[in-house]
Structure 1
Amino acid sequence: MTEQGKLTRALIGFSAVVIAVCAVVVTVKVVGTHPQRPLLDQEAVERQASAAVRAGKMSRDNVFCPTAIEARKGNKFECDVYVAPGESETVKAEVVDDQGGISMSKL
């Protein structure tokens, strides 16, 4: 009986360790999985901001927009477009659909 008791206790202890490891693995999977929204193309956003200020000229030079802008309808942001040294104009932008369409207007 003593041998059988030791074996039973060892199996119970081993089972507890296996259950604890499984719980940790499941927790890490659940916490680590979160849907990530697509981001806007940084270059395209800066070219569009340039065009809004510079009469259609789509150069990214001296255009500063936030990075990692989510393509989420209603998301608003601003870009600064430098037209001359020390002289900038601000462009107000809004994401108009979840596919990344944006609307821009000069302030």
Structure 2
Amino acid sequence: MPWFLYLIECADGSIYTGIATDVAARFDKHSTGKGARYTRSRKPVRVLASFELAGRSEASRAEYRVKRLSAAEKRALIAGALTLDAVMPQSQAPDADAVPAG
């Protein structure tokens, strides 16, 4: 089942980042005050972007990384000037030139 990373614009201009399997239903929860504490006080306005990910684990890792971006970086991600792949750490492949210890 796919999971989504989503970014919501709040009434104060801030951007909330979350994950869900159904972004529209989750936005409705935020709008009715039954979502995150952050959106209860800042009133969500609209979904700015969503990104489909393979599963909950990948979505949680992406959420962790995106929440640490600056507001300007989040806006660049929303605009497509920054990709989600660029935000995620690259897996460490073994170095072919490395000499084994021992």
Normalization by structure 2: what TM-score?
0.21
Relative contact order, higher structure (CA 8 A, sep 6+): 2
Rg: which structure is higher?
1
